[in-house]
A and B are shown apart, each in its own frame.
Chain A
Amino acid sequence: MSDAAVIDAEGIAQKREHPARTTIKRLLRHRLFMTGLVLFLIIATAAILAPWITDVDPNRLSMRNKFKPPGEGWIFGTDSFGRSLWSRVVWGAQLSMLIGASVVALNAVFGILIGAAAGYFRRIDNLLMRINDALMAFPAILLAIAVTSVLGPSTFNVILALGIVYIPRTARIVRSSVIVLREMEFVQAAVAAGAGHWRILTRHILPNAMAPVIVQLSFLFAFAVLSEATLSFLGVGAVPPTPTWGNIMAEGRDFMREAPWIITIPGIALMITVMGLNFLGDGLRDVLDPRLRIQQ
């Protein structure tokens, strides 16, 4: 945690530009961040506008039109059921955004909760971290497979499964920051002044712990989108015919040579999204805390 940010938090009374404003200005100037933001916004916009920019239901079968290549009449071509790939990929964008955002939200809430609790209250730290380590010890993909198998295949359960897999990692990061911050002078001062736990956490510790978490969450969005694709490929993701990018790719893998567009187009869309998010994360990290570069 950089000292600059700590001082900023302390020196609210001083007449400076609000720290958030400085940060945003720096972000806007950061080339990588902007590139990432643009890429991400392209996908996100397409996702939001899905009902208006697609002309046909993504699940509408049309056996007569199966395997049409991109071109006349079909922007992205059709798949093995004659469904419009353009429709499916665009609605898939919406689903990917949904899944990514939800996993991030879950992590934000529970990761911070658990991490802060573990970092702040020494007594439950041990227990929480043991469970945490146990969950982290499972190879991520296997845990996700097991959880979706238990809960049943659905978009919601994929979100839950990925949440369960990644929350321990987020919690760890929060905990590390909280542990360091806990010992800092300004926090000790607040304790001495008689502030309650809740106040200390929300007012003093967490705002300063956010930087690495924010960075982690943006990478997490990317991980979630990628993981969903892998789960669908293995057959345990959201239930078909839900047009997640992973499902579309899984459905297209048998026809890679004869109808490569089915697997390639969502693949490229996925890569653009993930790359955009990674650039975003990089930019955030550079701006929010250069020291984080080494810790990852």
Chain B
Amino acid sequence: MFLVALRRLLSAIPVLFIVSLISFGLMRLIPGDPAASIAGTSATPAQIEQLRRDLGLDEPLLMQLLHYYQGLLQGDFGKSLLLGKGVLAATMERLPVTIGLSLYALVLTLLIGVASGIIAALRQNTWVDQVAMMIAMLGISIPGFFLGLLMIIFFAVQLGWLPSGGYVPFTQDPIGWLRSTTMPAISLALLQAGLLARITRSGMLEVLRQDYVRTARAKGLPERQVILKHALANALIPIVTVVGIIISLLLSGAVVTEALFSLPGMGQLLTQAVLSRDYPMVQGGLLLVTTFLVLVNILVDVLYALIDPRVRYE
């Protein structure tokens, strides 16, 4: 168990190295330098030039690469050109927002997705099944930003139930946090819940066909117990595999959602960094995010191994 996790961790290191190399190279290849972007649209060419010099963007590329890795080894992820503060500090400020949002969305996804998947499986081929799968399909097919915009118009403007944007930290005001993250979380969840519902349904159907379920039913066990005790646990296995994928999809989807709802999370930070050519921020930020994702995936794999004994000896 521990060995599995350790091995995964070690094999992740070369991946992370390549990630850092790719993000460095990619950023340097983008035309247009940070100065014009950071200086803003009302800056004069003279101001932009001044900024260019102040940011020290004329160092030779190889030197920059060297300094970058040098810093990394010392735990220095660099300093954002745009914000002026350390990449790690900026990330630590933003990450909780994205993680909070993603967790909220994950909970909603699991609830909606698993529940509807189970119901659809139990009422297979009835109208309930059809409708549930239709909605699931809609969820997967709609572009995230479209759904978000529709929700803003509907819930914020027409109904006035929820704010149309802005973020309230949980530590400051839990209710406020809930209100400010509900629409973004729902819009994220609906996109993924469909996926989960379909997988849950297939998994449940597969399991329900199995002999041990028929046996349980034949034994006269109450249906409820059959489902919860025997079927669900086994159906959960494929669900857990997908959770890892869903988490990274959520983080990816957060990019659009955060932009739409003006939430100061990692997605928005990184998108802005790429578009402003904030080299250090992109390099450091991507590295941190992928490290985080790798850790999450390892966790999921460990969880998977715990649940499914067949997988233990990989």
Contacts and interface: CB of A to CB of B under 8 A. Distances in A.
Interface of A: 130-131, 133-135, 137-142, 145-147, 149-150, 152, 222, 226, 229-230, 233-236, 246, 249, 253, 256-257, 263, 267, 270-271, 274-275, 278-279, 282, 293-296
A133 B248 CA distance: 13
Interface of B: 14-16, 18-19, 22-23, 26-27, 29-31, 137-138, 140-146, 149, 153, 157, 195, 198-199, 202-203, 206, 238, 242, 248, 251-253, 255-256, 259, 267, 270-271, 274-275, 282, 286, 289-290, 293-294
B202 A275 contact: no
A275 B29 contact: no
Contact of A139 (B16, B144, B202, B289): B289
A295 B61 CA distance: 44
A138 B19 contact: yes
B18 A130 contact: yes
A230 B203 contact: no
26 contacts: A130-B14, A133-B15, A134-B15, A134-B18, A139-B251, A140-B252, A142-B252, A145-B274, A146-B282, A150-B31, A152-B31, A229-B146, A230-B144, A235-B275, A249-B145, A249-B146, A267-B142, A270-B141, A270-B143, A271-B138, A274-B140, A275-B137, A278-B140, A282-B198, A296-B199, A296-B242
Nearest to A285: B202
A149 B30 CA distance: 6
Given A137-B16, A137-B293, A249-B145, 19 more contacts: A134-B16, A138-B23, A139-B270, A141-B256, A142-B286, A145-B271, A146-B27, A147-B26, A150-B29, A226-B143, A233-B145, A234-B255, A234-B256, A234-B271, A249-B146, A271-B138, A275-B137, A278-B137, A294-B206
Given A134-B19, A145-B274, A293 B202 contact: yes
Contacts of A294: 199, 202-203, 206, 238
Q: Please report whether the interface of chain A is mostly helix, strand, loop or mixed according to DSSP.
A: helix
A147 to B, nearest CB: 7
A137 B290 contact: yes
Interface centre among B16, B141, B202, B203 (most CB of A within 10 A): B141
Nearest to B291: A137
Contacts of B271: 142, 145, 234
Nearest to B147: A267
Contacts of B29: 150
A91 to B, nearest CB: 19
Contacts, number: 123
Interface centre among B143, B242, B289, B294 (most CB of A within 10 A): B143
Contact of B141 (A257, A274, A296): A274
Contacts of B23: 138, 146
B289 A253 contact: no
A158 to B, nearest CB: 15
A191 B5 CA distance: 36
- Identify the 5 closest CB pairs spanning chains A and B, nearest first: A134-B18, A274-B141, A293-B202, A139-B252, A137-B290
B184 to A, nearest CB: 15
Contacts of B199: 294, 296
Contacts of A296: 195, 199, 238, 242
B308 to A, nearest CB: 12
Contact of A295 (B146, B153, B238, B282): B238
A150 B255 contact: no
A249 B149 CA distance: 11
A233 to B, nearest CB: 5
Nearest to B13: A130
A38 to B, nearest CB: 15
Contact of A137 (B27, B153, B294): B294
A141 B255 contact: yes
A141 B146 contact: no
A18 to B, nearest CB: 29
B149 A263 contact: yes
Contacts of A278: 137, 140-141
Nearest to B141: A274
B137 A149 contact: no
B286 A138 contact: yes
A150 B149 CA distance: 29
Nearest to B136: A278
B238 to A, nearest CB: 5
B138 to A, nearest CB: 7
Contacts of A270: 141, 143, 146
Contacts of A142: 252, 255, 270-271, 274, 286
A138 B290 contact: yes
Nearest to B32: A149
Contacts of B203: 293-294
B149 A256 contact: yes
A63 to B, nearest CB: 25
A271 B191 CA distance: 12
A161 to B, nearest CB: 11
A141 B252 contact: yes
A246 B29 CA distance: 25
Nearest to B254: A139
B187 to A, nearest CB: 13
Nearest to B22: A134
A251 to B, nearest CB: 13
